[in-house]
Amino acid sequence: NSSDAPETITSRDAARFPIIASCTLFGLYLFFKVFSQEYINLLLSVYFFVLGVLALSHTMSPLMSRIFPESFPNKQYQLLFTQGSGESKEEIVNYEFDTKTLVCLLISSVVGFWYLLKKHWIANNLFGLAFALNGVELLHLNNVSTGCILLGGLFIYDVFWVFGTNVMVTVAKSFEAPIKLVFPQDLLEKGLGASNFAMLGLGDIVIPGIFIALLLRFDVSLKKNSRTYFYSSFLAYIFGLGLTIFVMHTFKHAQPALLYLVPACVGFPVLVALLKGEVTEMFSFLFFSGKLDRFPVAIVFVCGNHGNSCWSPWLRLSTCRWCLLQLGAYMTPPPPQLYSHKNMALLHGRGGMLEAESDSPSSPVLVCLLPVLSD
């Protein structure tokens, strides 16, 4: 399904993210101050019940595919909702699934009702882990520089809202939703009925996680049959998390996990790159996924009639000054008079060249779409 297509975070998105997160956090804080906490959490519980069931089902699907034997009667289904009729018919929902997916949904629903009725910490963590895994899978960074911008911005965000105000702690304690993992501190005394918890927000898992996933892709791109940067960043995450827990217990105060995770997850791989002499390769690595219209594109026009070219970086609508050809580089679907969907598909995830017809009777214009590193 198209909804499962990964979203790639650009440097512009990364710079905006801490501001958007701050507005959302403070908005939730005001909601809890103005409205009844009971009704807000009831609404959020139903909302996250639906999301949690879908996320856990998606996470379980690969495991179920291995468990079920090949002889299992796996029938295909399609859920289709349309609006209008005839030529004006428009798809609203088009969801394809099979019997294995239904089994996953059934198991996930049992966990969901357990969480909805009991708010048990195990059910909370199952949903939380599912959200985290789906987040790392569906969110990608386009390069290491973008990851540094994102982590650096959220480093400041986390420190400010934890040490500078009581907003983060208040929302975390009031917000009864599986957006955090909870660890029972009295597990040995009370068993599964533990009630005293330490918390780790999902953002402290997903944000470093997508950066570590980018470094794994960088490892693969080097074609050296090693995972040096992945393992170094993963070990750095464990070290940073351990340091967070140590400081929290030492000072008996809530700690912003990114205060320790960001320097570790960025510093360790950069140090490895310095030792291996691959800093340039690391910061020039570019990863693409998803729709072309979500990425910065540099457009080079080579007019076949005049033999000249013009460079237009980061233009949403560009015009060749020689043949007045307009190109909607960010338009989806692309204008049919410029290039076909077949040609467009060849450009997904990489630079490429294709011919586009001009309105003038001159020869075709050669267009080169090249991904660039920053916006």
291 in Cβ contact with 310 (< 8 Å): no
Burial 115-154, CB ≥16 within 10 A → b, else e:
bbeeeebebbbbbbbbbbbbbbebbbbbbbbbbbbbbbbb
CA distance 165 to 167: 5
Record the tokens describing residue 51, joined without a space. 């999301």
The C-alpha angle with vertex 25 and arms to 19 and 31, in degrees rounded to 5, equals 135
> 99-118 vs 37-67: helix axis angle to the nearest 10?
150
Active-site residue, from 13, 158, 219, 293: 158
CA distance 372 to 375: 8
Query: Measuring CA to CA, which residue among 151, 132, 131 is closest to residue 141?
Result: 151
Q: Under 8 Å CB-to-CB from 93, ≥6 apart: which residues? A: 79, 80, 81
> Residue 150 belongs to what H/E stretch?
helix 144-159
Active-site residue, from 204, 219, 293, 375: 204
- Our answer to whether residue 219 is catalytic in this structure is no
- Our answer to whether residue 204 is catalytic in this structure is yes
CA distance 150 to 209: 12
Torsion of CA 122, 124, 126, 131, to 10 degrees: -160
Residues serving a catalytic function are 158, 204
